[in-house]
Structure 1
Amino acid sequence: MTATTSRTTVNTVILDVPDPTAAEAFYAAFGVGDHVVVRAGEAPTTGFRGYTLSLVVSQPNIVDAFVDAALAAGATSLKPVKKGFWGYGGVVQAPDGAIWKVATSSKKNSGPATRQIDDIVLLLGVDDVKASKEFYVDHGLEVAKSFGRKYVEFATDGTGVKLALYGRRALAKDAGVPPEGTGSHRIALGSASGAFTDPDGFAWEPLSD
């Protein structure tokens, strides 16, 4: 019998925001309030913060529902929703500065719109995908998909946030923003795996009781 081992995963995403009450209201209206934690934080930051969060859903009308809700709650459109060879999606920026992509691989609706999220993916824009991949493997993450030095996706336990690595410039282009940015990422990765910081300055924090 094979022994069961615990897997290092991202259990929750923690966002540092200037106004937690306003951020909580926004994320509740957006429909992702159960998946993020906000806390007060005003560490200096300018430009691209080096990450995006993605909602993966099952069909285009669900993309529209989430994007419309985000815009109505005060988000800014970075990339309007549209069809592409990969599917259908768009990108918005929350009032606190976090960038969210909402997308589906489907190009047709097969039913009414819901607010069902299939996956939440945290994409970290890194300087060296190969080096960051090795760092995370050394810290107990298991690789689910890997495309050389371009993209890496790690396995989850089915309950947390998917973590993936992408080149910083490529991620910024995908988000529709310039790649330049300095200062705090204003995000932390909550996990049961303890505290550490990766080569690009993204911090992992223990889950609070």
Structure 2
Amino acid sequence: MNAIDSVALEVADTTAAARFYDAAFGLDPTQVRLRGCDAPTTGFRGFTLSLVVSQPGNVDALLTAAHDAGATVLKPAAKSLWGYGGVVQAPDGTVWQLATSVKKDTGPVTRDIDELVLLLGVEDVKDSKRFYVEQGFTVGKSFGGKYVEFVAGEGAVKLSLYKRRALAKVAGVPAGGTGSHRLVLSSAAGPFTDPDGFVCEATAPPTVTDPGTAHATGVR
């Protein structure tokens, strides 16, 4: 089963972006990386990243930290039929959803993140679903031509597909946009470019230390 191992956000200023993400979310660097890029981009980039947490207080804590670090609040946190959440846009332009399916706090408030979800806004959900299945991804949930969610192993980024206009509406931004997505995926299934122009690189295999070298240098 293939999955998205990590994502790279392409930003104009990696130092400023690293400062923001450390202050706002404290993201796992094995899941979210930063890469310098000045490729032209305007409007909605066709994706959002979601931080799924365990309770509403954690959503509020992340949203406040993000706003204090310089993010723009696109949608204040609020209750909905599915739970509780809000949306912010980082200074580099990436849109982040902060969400929980729980409607009441049950413990101390933290900024702990339970799951990272990448939602791609696509033109044809069925076509994109077919493409990713052909790359070895396993469907976890599917609702016709509206939404698809793929299975992700422990430590992986969960991949979901949504109609582009619907995702833009959820994000609170106009659906139009041109230029670079400013996003690069990493997976054992790569390299490939999907039907909507999202690029995936091959995940680098883990470095294996030569036993002889390890012995010689004293590494165990």
Scaled by the length of structure 1, what TM-score is found? 0.95
Of residues 14, 33, 36 in structure 2, which corresponds to 1:40? 36
> Are the equivalent residues in 2 in contact too, given 1:76–1:93 (CA < 8 A)?
yes
1:8 aligned residue (2, 11, 19): 2
Partner of 2:169: 173
Q: How far off its partner does 1:83 sit?
A: 1.1
- 2:59 pairs with 1:63: yes
For residue 79 of structure 2, give the secondary structure of its aligned residue in structure 1. Answer: strand
Count of residues paired in the alignment:
203
Structure 2 portions without partners, runs of 5+ = 208-220
Q: Distance in 1 between matches of 2:103 and 2:161?
A: 26
C-alpha separation in 1, matches of 2:2 and 2:47: 20
| 2:158 counterpart of 1:153 | no
The answer on whether the counterparts of 1:49 and 1:182 sit within 8 Å (CA) in structure 2 is: yes
**Secondary structure of the equivalent of 1:80?**
strand
- Tell me which residue corresponds to 1:193: 189
Superposition deviation, residue 192 in structure 1: 2.4
1:24–1:33 contact (8 Å) kept in structure 2: no
Equivalent residue runs for 1:43-192 within 5 Å: 43-192=39-188
Distance 2:5 2:24 in 1: 20
Q: Are 1:53 and 1:101, in contact at CA under 8 Å, matched by a contact in 2?
A: yes
State how far apart, in whole Å, the 1-side matches of 2:21 and 2:7 are: 13
1:112-167 C-alpha deviation (Å, 9 max, x unpaired): 11122111100000000000000000010000000000000001112110000000
Match of 1:20 among 3, 7, 14: 14
Q: Distance in 2 between matches of 1:198 and 1:42?
A: 22
Report the CA distance between 1:32 and its aligned residue: 3.9
RMSD (CA atoms)? 1.0
1:207 Cα deviation after fit:
2.8
Task: Single out whichever of 121-130 and 82-91 deviates more from structure 2.
Answer: 82-91
Partner of 2:59: helix, strand, or coil? helix
Amino acid at match of 1:122: L
Report the AA paired with residue 155 of structure 2: T
Task: Give the Cα–Cα distance (whole angstroms) in 2 for the partners of residues 131 and 56 of structure 1.
Answer: 27
5+ residue gaps, structure 1, are: 1-6
Could you tell me which amino acid in structure 2 is paired with residue 23 of structure 1?
A
The offset of 1:87, in angstroms, is 1.0
